Amino acid sequence: MTRPAAPDSPEAAFELPDAEATMALGARLAAPLQAGDVVLLRGDLGAGKTTLARGLVAAWTGVDEDAPSPTYTLVQVYESARGPLWHMDLYRLQDPEEALELGLEDALIEAVTVIEWPERLGAFAPPHRLEIDLAAQGAGRRAIVRGFGRLAGAAHVG
Ligand SMILES: Nc1ncnc2c1ncn2[C@@H]1O[C@H](COP(=O)(O)OP(=O)(O)O)[C@@H](O)[C@H]1O
Ligand SMILES: [Mg+2]
């Protein structure tokens, strides 16, 4: 399933034949996360961003129930023994200022922050982050994961 570009590369590619594989990737990427880390989920509508976030949330909280998509609320906050996790969907964000009003700055320090449509924030590259690009591949999906800062090695979770 894992096809690292190179053993010491911060980037890895994953073929995801079904939604369960997308969830499983999200769950595995949750392992190294800690407060202050950010996961940026990029890709078109239907690419699998919320599915990956659900797998990540389930692993973070240890509760395997379907996390609601924050399509309309913009953010869902989860608490667990490992600390808070914010799941944001910024598709409907009109202005980056709105994200600040929601408390994004505090979340970036105190929580793990998982963001769908991070493009809505403009140039946004917090230091410790995973950038995940999802795209259709046949009936399934393909994910490219890149790690930065203390997550530089975290893309390799095969
Ligand atoms: N690897 C995959 N292969 C096939 N379908 C998938 C895969 N991952 C997710 N899906 C499905 O794609 C649809 C859209 O997923 P979703 O996570 O809501 O996308 P997004 O949040 O990017 O708009 C859902 O029906 C989901 O089950
Ligand atoms: Mg979504």
- The answer to whether residue 158 is domain-embedded is no
Contact status, residue 46 vs residue 75, Cβ threshold 8 Å:
no
Tell me, in angstroms, the distance from the centre of ligand 1 to residue 134's CA. 10
Q: For residue 5, is it within any domain? A: no
In a domain, 134, yes or no: no
Q: Does residue 130 lie within any of the structural domains?
A: no
The alpha carbon of residue 44 and the mean position of all alpha carbons in its chain are separated, in whole angstroms, by 14
pTM for the full predicted model: 0.93
Q: Sort 20 into a burial class: Cβ within 10 Å, 0-12 / 13-18 / 19+.
A: exposed
> Which ligand is the nearest neighbour of the Cα of 54?
1
Using one digit for the tens of pLDDT, what is the confidence trace for 73-102?
A: 899 999 999 999 999 999 999 999 999 999
- The mean pLDDT of 38-45, rounded to a whole number, is 98
- Local structure of 119: helix, strand or coil: helix
Evaluate: CB of 56 within 6 angstroms of ligand 1.
no
Which residues have CB under 8 Å from 94's CB, separation 6+?
none
Domain-located, residue 108: yes
Round the average pLDDT of the chain to a whole number and report it. Answer: 92
Strands of the chain, DSSP E:
2-4, 11-16, 38-42, 75-80, 83-89, 112-116, 129-137, 140-148
The environment of the single-atom ion ligand 2, i.e. residues with CB closer than 5 A, is 49-50
127 within domain boundaries: no
For residue 139, the ligand 1 atom closest to its alpha carbon is 4
The best mutation among 50, 51, 54, 71 to test binding of ligand 1, ranked by most ligand atoms within 8 Å of the C-beta, falls on: 51
Scan for tokens 């997308």, then name that residue. Answer: 22
User: How far, in Å, from the CA of 6 to the mean position of ligand 2?
Assistant: 30
Cα dihedral across residues 144, 120, 101, 87: positive or negative: negative
Q: Would the pLDDT of 5 be above 70?
A: no
Residue 62 belongs to some domain of the structure: yes
Mean pLDDT, range 39-50, rounded to an integer:
98
CB 107 within 8 A of CB 125: no
In a domain, 6, yes or no: no
CATH number, domain with residue 38 = 3.40.50.300
User: Domain count of the chain?
Assistant: 1
Range(s) of the domain holding residue 42:
11-114+140-150
